[in-house]
Amino acid sequence: MRKIVMVLLGVIGLLLVTTPTAQAEEPIKVVHTEQVQAGPYRLTVGFSRWPLKAMQSLDYTFTPDGGIRGRSGTLAVIAPDGSRYEVELARHPRQREVWGLDVQSLDEPGEWTFRFIIDGAQGQGTGELRLTMLEQPGPPLAISWAIGSGPLIGLIALIVVGWRRVRPRASIAH
């Protein structure tokens, strides 16, 4: 019993020593910015990847001159086909001093519009940023799914063949 306890304590100690401490996520690396004038407010829109490609996840940051304190806003994202959705501008989860969207992707290529409505001490302001989204990187989704699901289909076939070979057969009554 004593040996088992010593082994368990040794394993736990080894895990504690070799497990790295949790690191806070790195701030966003903005590689491109665009300026938007929303009434009296100047807004810097930052992108973590450039050029923009459909179906590619990235971070967006929205920073009004003078910071976000005392301000609120709404972002309307308008797709090339005219469909839209709105979100309240909120602090970015990894860069708390700015508004932003964390790991978002836009689904289709074409011209997208970001419409900002900012409320603050100088009243309300509206501004737009038009973005051209390029084709998605890599092969088309159907080909990607076909290639990616190949190993799963092979595994299922292997399990079925193995199960059929070891399954007990019904005995023949004489």
Q: What domains does the chain contain, in order, with CATH numbers? A: 32-133 (2.60.40.1930)
pLDDT in tens, 110-150: 999 999 999 999 999 999 999 999 998 778 878 888 888 98
Helix (H) or strand (E) holding 9: helix 2-18
pLDDT of the residue at 126: 97
Which two three-digit tokens encode residue 97?
């001093």
Q: Which of 9-13, 85-89, 114-118 has the lowest mean pLDDT?
A: 9-13
For residue 168, say if its preceding peptide bond is cis, omega within 30 degrees of 0: no
Q: Which of 54-63, 66-75, 92-101, 159-168 has the lowest mean pLDDT?
A: 159-168
Beta-carbon-side half-sphere exposure of residue 168 (alpha carbons within 13 Å): 3
Helices (H), 126-166: 141-166
